[in-house]
Chain A
Amino acid sequence: MTRKLILAIVCLALLLGLLIRASSGAMPNPFLDYQNLGLWVGAALTLFALSFLYGDNPFFRFTEHVFVGVASAYWMVQGFWGTLVPKLLANLAPEIAVSLFRMDFPVGVPWTRRLLYALPLLMGGLLLTRLHPRARRAGSWTLAFLVGITAGLRLIAFLDAGFMTQIQNSVVSLVAVSRSGFDLGKSLDAILLTGGVICCLLYFFFSRRESGPVALAGRFGLAVLMVTFGASFGFSVMGRVAVLVGRMEFLLHDWLGII
């Protein structure tokens, strides 16, 4: 209890200090306009989010719930204004969008197109039967429709970009020739690259034995994969730190005004 009281007094003192600093003009004054208030709200939420490092606490919990609420609504709004209106309504009944939302859509949509776009409307409607516990089965038709789309689109997409293109990129001459003739370094690189790809693929073999030449190649493949992971770990530290730097800039520059 005493600890909480001390903590509350320290927090209040800090807040008071900041407010005095703000009223003196060194920091954005939250009572001046909405933008300055926004900076304070943003700074508070940033600090609350970072407080998670100390462990779960009421400040973090508050931010968690605000963020989940705002973010889910944000995406729903985007789904409505970014997809349902311009993609569905504009193809199905643009007249409604034009008269209701005063939006600039062409109204002369042929009836075949309208009929085609009745399909997602129907499927979307079926999905909403999920809200009623007894009419749930129809919703799985929509899910089946979506899963069918995914399987149909992805099968070809992975065949194209993942399988054929990657093999095409791997089919190279293992002997590199530069202007001055045979290039040993580049040739070794090409051999290592091709060998690495093949060994990694052998590592992924599910029906291989625990020993033997395939397993040996697989172990080399695993080593290549570990190099890949180590490298991309070391490489991404910068990106993560950059985000923190950005946040600190916001706190120290935009809000506190000390740098």
Chain B
Amino acid sequence: MSLVAAVPRGIVLVVAIVLIVAMFVPPLEPLREEFSLFFNIIAAFAFVLGGASLIGRHARKIRRRASGYGYSVVCIGAFGITLAAGLLKLGNPTGIGGDVTARGSVFAWIVRYVFGPADSGLFALLAFFIASAAFRAFRVRNRESTIMLVTAFLLLLGRTFLGGLVTSWLPDRLEAFELPNVIPWIMSVPLKAGSRAILIGVAVGAIATSLRIILGIDRPYRGEGK
């Protein structure tokens, strides 16, 4: 391992250790704040790479006249217009120093009438997907799937007016087993237990992964390779 190749590992080690130590040393604590800000700043630089990837991929399709290259023209066009409108604040009534989404600007129009509807339109697909997923997945197949099916069924029932009706015949003594009371119980006992255990498990996994990265066992950046 050459010295130059060892630099990234050293950077990871130093940065991570400094940020961990900063949690316990008050004069260093502002660093944690500053460094998470640095992340966002560098992520903003990275947009150049993302843009290059997007334009490069579609430009190649256009150059090769690959099938459906017309869509690539649309994509690059939409990208270019939005980028110009936003960076130059075209038609912005508050000028170059104002809010980029100020009403009346070209960018605000695009956000409101192109970005918004397309985004929510795609989001709305989920209503259909959830129905077909429920139809396909919730079957009495084995023990696990049955438990999941029954819970989901109860929850769905409880979200409608039927929730109060199906168990209203129960005597007052068994009030606790009425659906409107069972659902909060599910949310506050088994669901709480399950989500808490997942949280703890994820925390343990995340701590271990952080350690692996700090020690250089995991290298999601280019390490010693060529």
Contacts and interface: CB of A to CB of B under 8 A. Distances in A.
Interface string B22-54: 010000000010111111111111111111101
B117 A81 contact: no
B200 A144 contact: no
Nearest to A52: B125
A192 B191 CA distance: 11
B41 A124 contact: yes
A74, A148, A167, A221 — most chain B CB neighbours (10 Å): A148
B93 interface: no
Contact of B74 (A69, A82, A84, A148): A69
A46 B148 CA distance: 33
A49 B121 contact: yes
24 contacts: A38-B112, A61-B71, A64-B71, A72-B51, A83-B44, A102-B97, A119-B38, A124-B46, A145-B15, A145-B42, A147-B220, A148-B11, A151-B211, A166-B196, A166-B199, A169-B196, A170-B196, A192-B189, A201-B200, A231-B155, A231-B190, A234-B155, A244-B127, A250-B120
B155 to A, nearest CB: 3
Contacts of B36: 149, 153
B97 A79 contact: no
Nearest to A79: B44
Contacts of B156: 234, 237
B222 A127 contact: no
B150 interface: yes
Contacts of B113: 37-39, 41-42
Interface string A135-174: 0010011111111111111111011011100110110000
A62 B78 CA distance: 11
A196 B14 contact: no
Contact of A156 (B20, B52, B128, B197): B20
Interface residues of A, number: 121
A240 B159 CA distance: 13
Given A65-B75, A116-B34, A244-B124, A88 B151 contact: no
A66 B74 contact: yes
A145 B36 CA distance: 11
B19 A153 contact: yes
B85 to A, nearest CB: 8
Dominant secondary structure of chain B at its interface with chain A? helix
B86 to A, nearest CB: 3
Contacts of A83: 40-41, 43-44
A242 B122 CA distance: 13
Given A145-B11, A238-B159, A227 B82 contact: no
B165 interface: no
Dominant secondary structure of chain A at its interface with chain B? helix
A111 interface: no
B132 to A, nearest CB: 10
A246 B45 CA distance: 36
B166 interface: no
Given A84-B44, A140-B222, 9 more contacts: A69-B77, A84-B45, A124-B46, A144-B11, A148-B19, A149-B39, A152-B32, A197-B200, A244-B126
Interface in A213-259: 221-238, 240-241, 243-244, 246-247, 250
Contacts of A46: 117-118, 120-121, 124
Contact of A234 (B39, B80, B152): B152
Contacts of B200: 162-163, 166-167, 197, 201
A166 B206 CA distance: 15
Contacts of B42: 120, 123-124, 127, 142, 145-146
